[in-house]
Structure 1
Amino acid sequence: MPEQLATSPYDALLLLSFGGPEGPDDVVPFLENVTRGRGIPKERLKEVGKHYFLFGGVSPINEQNRALLDALRKDFAEHAVDLPVYWGNRNWAPYLTDTLREMVADGRRRIAVLATSAYASYSGCRQYRENLADALATLADEGLAVPRVDKLRHYFNHPGFVRPMVDGVLASLADLPEDVRAGAHLAFTTHSIPDAAADTSGPVEAHGEGGAYVAQHLDVARLIADAVREETGVEHPWELVYQSRSGAPHIPWLEPDICDHLETLHGAGVPAVVMAPIGFVSDHMEVLYDLDTEATAKAAELGLPVRRSATVGADPRFAAAVRDLLLERAATERGRAVERCSLGALGPSHDLCPVGCCPARAPRPAAAGADSPYA
């Protein structure tokens, strides 16, 4: 195999995602998995699950992961990258621990991991690492071989992630009525998280107001807005806003909420809005409900024309970006100097999450980092 296509030392890639229900009977058990340990009553979970029941109890995330798996395997085959790709979820089948058992049975011992979360935060990075550590501990308890897992770096500013979103915003602008298009506002959205979690996101040196989580999203939003200006000749005002808040109302979370933002823009006389969900890899439930249903209904109530741009999903350019990240990390692990592809002001992210990166409220073991119990 040519050096530039060598995947050694890795013998597999694991696509690690959140998971979602695939039928009405799955909704409450899925939410019990997500909220395990918080003592939330079943009746409350049924209320929380109403978003899923509106869509027949089916989250689109699993089907979208199947599409991404197909795209990755197709890209690898077309570029002579000989590496099997597996899939495991944190909260629903196929469960992460079951997938790791399968991988061990198949002889996989050095695994690269792609998480379907592009940014730094506890819920978007460290919690995945904690789940990996839990699964590896289970394998050890069962007397199975414990593979080494390496999580690929954050890819929020990789061209293969950014460029499809640029095209999505351009397509949404083009779909607006011509008389409101030039004055359209760009609302870049991501999942709201508690202020405290945002402030401690990323390495310790990145901690502060909003931490790495906000800084990374702002960098991506600026990249997309600049690209739109360059390609259309129009300077569209933009802002980073938030969606999908959950949790106790007395705890401060990142704001403004997208629906509140739409009201503010309407009051200011903005003629149209493109909602761009840059914080999400695919069109899963938060996008379908919070943007396509709730925010779109709010815009209709206001008489404000809106469009929602596409997420990256299984775009071939994203699959190519994953291949690039894999080969880059493999070469680094072999001691090669590699050029790390990134856009914007922040540069490429770290390979190994340092100690103190995106800390949990209660410390737990986390794999694939400098503090991993599994070297």
Structure 2
Amino acid sequence: MTGVPAGFDALLFLSFGGPDRPEDVRPFLENVTRGRGVPPERLDEVVQHYLHFGGVSPLNRLNREMIAGLRDELDRRGRSALPIYFGNRNWHPMVADTLAEMVADGHRRILVFPTSAWGGYSGCRQYHEDIANALAGVGAQVSLTIRKLPQFAHEPAFRAAVADAVRQGLERFADGGAAPRLVFTAHSIPESADRSAGPADAGGGLYSRQVTDASAAVAALVGAEGFDVVWQSRSGPPQVPWLEPDICDHLRVLSESGVSRVVVCPIGFVSDHLEVVWDLDSEAADVASELGMEYVRVPTVGTDPHFVRMIADLVERYCDGGGDVTALGCGDNGMSCRKDCCVPVRRR
């Protein structure tokens, strides 16, 4: 078969997962929040968010659109015989089932692209655990090498894709009126989880630093004079401190300071899945409307050509046996890049 790389013979596109039917919503959310101390009333609230949109997450569809774009890009590069499989952490197609399918199809050296740019437990190390658990399900009857590709928050093509989206939003205000305030958002996490994000000898805070650094780089690319980094989608008990400010609270602060226009960029997400659509297009948009603010939420990178090419670049960098195997996030067979990196916070 032409186009098959010598080093790795398949790619696993690994994502978070989402329900495809209303009856799947509660089981899916229970998978996501298991062991995390999320109050039942918060779970009930999020169930209603999904039901508001028919009980279907757009995430699986959006991932398949990204996979289709990546397939076209790899074909263009002569990698037509490198198959792409799709698996999820929290809902079907589950990664364990997908890996079993890949092994049955004869694949033994597999690259994994996870749809998270960032360090931290949920954004990186947990994907290693997903791989390890799936590998345990396959058993020891075959010898496999499953290499997770590294974090990509620093990749110029990722930042260029975000900048493309931000420019679209800024153009909406190209009327000579007041300049909009640029606001970047990412998923909030407990402050304790952020302190444990990254190698233990690096002082923690890798996740929030990566988000802030990427936001600053994008702001520079689009020529923004100022920007803010805020957070969204917290789900833990109220007594546990999470990264702040929340996007809705921040919009109120901006309004009080005289800001009348905002461009909101969900830099922390690669797809317009339900948390983006609900938290930004519903809750935050409603707050902005109440405040009389002009509000534009820009697209996630998704199928932006810069982003698709970045994924293909990562694949090509590693698939023939090259690439930096010491890069943050890179690891084989469920082993994290550093023994003490992004360890989960012990829950009380």
- What is the TM-score normalised by the length of structure 2? 0.91
Give the equivalent residue in structure 2 for 1:291.
Answer: 280
Partners of 1:264 and 1:68 lie apart in 2 by 36
Alignment of 1:269 onto 2:258: yes
1:326 Cα deviation after fit:
1.4
1:187 maps to amino acid: V
Q: Which residue does 1:254 correspond to in 2?
A: 243
In 1: Cα distance, 2:105 partner to 2:165 partner: 39
Q: CA RMSD in A?
A: 2.4
- Matches of 1:328 and 1:177, distance apart in 2: 39
* 1:120 paired to 2:104: no
Q: What code does the residue aligned with 1:228 have?
A: V
Determine which of 171, 175, 182 is the counterpart of 1:174.
171
Summarize the Cα distance change of 1:236–1:273 in structure 2 as closer, same or farther, 3 Å threshold: farther
Shift in alpha-carbon separation, 1:146–1:99, aligned structure 2, 3 A: farther
Counterpart-to-counterpart distance in 2, 1:268 and 1:46: 35
Maintained 8 Å contact 2:262/2:293: yes
The one-letter amino acid paired with 2:72 is K
Task: State which drifts further: 50-59 or 128-137.
Answer: 128-137
Q: What is the correspondence of 1:1-375 to structure 2 with a 5 Å cutoff? A: 7-37=5-35, 45-81=43-79, 82-140=81-139, 144-145=141-142, 147-176=144-173, 178-181=175-178, 183-208=179-204, 211-229=205-223, 235-331=224-320, 333-334=321-322, 349=328, 351-352=330-331, 353-361=337-345
Identity %: 47
Q: Which amino acid aligns with 1:89?
A: N
- Residues 136 and 146, structure 1, Cα contact 8 Å, conserved in 2: no
Task: Tell me how far apart the structure 1 counterparts of residues 122 and 324 of structure 2 sit (CA, whole Å).
Answer: 31
Q: 1:86 aligns to what SS in structure 2?
A: strand
In terms of mean alpha carbon deviation, does 144-153 or 121-130 score higher?
Answer: 144-153
Counterpart of 1:47, as a letter, is: E
How far apart, CA to CA, are the structure 2 residues paired with 1:146 and 1:29? 33
Kept in 1, the 8 Å contact 2:39–2:236? The answer is no
Q: Which structure 2 segments of 5+ residues have no match? A: 332-336
Displacement of 1:41 in angstroms is: 8.6
Deviation at 1:39, TM superposition (A): 7.7
Q: 1:337 to 1:60 in 2, by over 3 A?
A: closer
Task: State whether residues 260 and 292 of structure 2, in contact with CA within 8 Å, keep that contact through their aligned partners in structure 1.
Answer: no
Deviation at 1:76, TM superposition (A): 0.8
Q: Measure how far apart 1:298 and its partner are.
A: 0.3
**Preserved contact between residue 28 and residue 42 of structure 1 (Cα < 8 Å):** no
Normalising by the residue count of structure 1, what TM-score does the alignment of the two structures yield?
0.85
Mapped partners of 2:82, 2:244: distance in 1: 42
Stretch of structure 1 that moved more, 37-46 or 22-31 = 37-46
* Alpha carbons 1:110, 1:148 under 8 Å: kept: yes
The one-letter code matched in structure 2 to 1:322 is I
Cα distance in 1, alignment partners of residues 203 and 51 from structure 2: 38
Report SS of the residue matched to 1:178: coil
| CA positional deviation for 1:195 | 0.5
The separation in 2 between residues aligned to 1:41 and 1:299, in whole angstroms, is: 28
| Distance in 2, Cα, partners of 1:146 & 1:206 | 34
SS in 2 for 1:49: helix
Query: Aligned partners of 2:38 and 2:241: how far apart in 1?
Result: 20
Count of residue correspondences = 341
1:174 and 1:14 mapped to 2: Cα distance? 37
**1:176–1:307 CA contact under 8 A, matched in 2:** no
CA gap of 1:31–1:315, structure 2 versus 1, over 3 A, is same
CA offsets 1:129-186 (integer angstroms, 9 cap, x no match): 111111111111xx642522111011112122111211111111111362445x2111
For the 8 Å contact 1:67–1:314, the answer to whether it is kept is yes
